[in-house]
Amino acid sequence: MSQFRPSTADKRKTFRKLHEAGCFVIPNPWDVGGARYLQGLGFPALATTSSGFAFSQGYPDGGQNREQVLAHFAAIAAATDVPLNADFEDGFADTPAGVAESVVKCIATGVAGLSIEDSPNDGKTPLYDIETAVARVKAARAAIDRAGGDVVFTARAENFIRGVNDLDDAIRRLKAYAAAGADCLYAPGINKREQIEAVVKAVAPKPVNFLNSGAFGFTVEQIAAMGVRRISVGGSLARVAMHAFVRTATEIARDGNFDGFGGLITNAELNKFFAEDRRKLSS
């Protein structure tokens, strides 16, 4: 008999429970191997990263189409036993009706949660006007409710990563998204204690996701003390890997040395982990 693996419904129930109290870290893998390794480290949930996956496939962030992204969600969700949150960018649509259609397709991949941004992916307009953004949130909420309502919906205020560094506007948007039905609120790009605490206070009691994408000097314990419920890392783990790859490959091409291979995790260590992991799946 094969080992019990949680169903999609089980994972969605677990993910919703994680948002009720405490604070958890939700790291962002970009492939199945990384997802399985992070799960093996004991993280209770995972999230996709649009940038990490795009770079691994030779695209800029935001350069992939909806079908490519949905297939990626499905692959990671099927390969893992912990809940998966989908970085669904702008929902691959401008109109509320288009967002709703995309959300239905996203839910069908088996994810436990999804996030929608309030910035059009056109490289021109930083943010949707707030009325349009709220209508998009309401459409996503309604689509989730029609599908059963168990997927955790995160609404994002993109101000600080789109060059609109206005905390008051970001908070105004997050409060409007909370009222429109978002389960979790997220303002990527804020990185100061006073900003984080202001966002948490503004949308309480709803949970807040904080993006710890750099060396901001905070520990998990300190972020939890600010009232944050969920800590993601976005594309930072992917950039750690790409940074090491680019630096080492550049040294080989430019200097002819292989010093970057010093201290690497060994094939034996990785073989051991993945062999044991495969046995768990088939036992």
Instruction: Tell me how far CA of residue 201 lies from CA of 34, 126, 177, 213, 226, in angstroms.
Output: 34, 25, 15, 22, 9
d(CA 188, CA 177): 15
Q: What is the pLDDT of residue 112?
A: 98
d(CA 181, CA 76): 27
Would you say residue 212 lies in a domain?
yes
Residue 199 CA, distance from chain mean position: 19
Q: What is the pLDDT of residue 121?
A: 82
Other residues' Cβ atoms within 10 Å of the Cβ of residue 94 = 16
Q: What is the pLDDT of residue 1?
A: 33
Q: What is the pLDDT of residue 106?
A: 98
Closest Cα partner for 84 from 51, 36, 140, 22? 36
Q: Is 109 helix (H, G, I), strand (E, B) or coil?
A: coil
The CATH number for 110's domain is 3.20.20.60
| Per-residue confidence band for 280, with pLDDT thresholds at 50, 70 and 90 | confident
Task: Flag whether pLDDT at 228 surpasses 80.
Answer: yes
Would you say residue 156 lies in a domain?
yes
Would you say residue 275 lies in a domain?
no
Would you say residue 130 lies in a domain?
yes
Task: Flag whether pLDDT at 21 surpasses 60.
Answer: yes
When pLDDT is averaged across residues 55-59 and rounded to a whole number, the result is 97
64 neighbors 53 (Cβ within 8 angstroms): yes
Task: Flag whether pLDDT at 2 surpasses 90.
Answer: no
What is the per-residue pLDDT across 136-162, written as a single tens digit (0 to 9) for each? 999 999 999 999 889 999 999 999 999
What is the per-residue pLDDT across 26-48, written as a single tens digit (0 to 9) for each? 999 999 999 999 999 999 999 99
Would you say residue 74 lies in a domain?
yes
Both structure tokens of 23:
């604070």
d(CA 73, CA 81): 14
- Domain enclosing residue 186, as ranges: 8-235
281 neighbors 3 (Cβ within 8 angstroms): yes
Q: What's the number of domains the chain is made of? A: 1
Would you say residue 3 lies in a domain?
no
DSSP 16-40: HHHTTSS-EEE---SSHHHHHHHHH
- Counting other chains too, the contacts that 202-211 makes at CB distance below 8 Å and 24 or more residues apart are 202/171, 202/174, 202/175, 203/171, 203/174, 203/175, 203/178, 206/178, 206/182, 207/19, 207/183, 208/184, 209/26, 209/115, 209/154, 209/184, 209/185, 210/186, 211/186
What is the per-residue pLDDT across 173-212, written as a single tens digit (0 to 9) for each? 999 999 999 999 999 999 999 999 999 999 999 999 999 9
Q: What is the pLDDT of residue 168?
A: 98
Would you say residue 270 lies in a domain?
no
Q: What is the pLDDT of residue 39?
A: 98
Task: Flag whether pLDDT at 3 surpasses 60.
Answer: yes
pTM of this structure = 0.96
Other residues' Cβ atoms within 10 Å of the Cβ of residue 216 = 15
Would you say residue 247 lies in a domain?
no
The conformation of residue 259, written as its DSSP 8-state character, comes to G
Angle in degrees, CA 253, 259, 265, rounded to 5: 115
Percentage of the residues of the chain whose pLDDT score is greater than 70: 99
| Per-residue confidence band for 4, with pLDDT thresholds at 50, 70 and 90 | confident
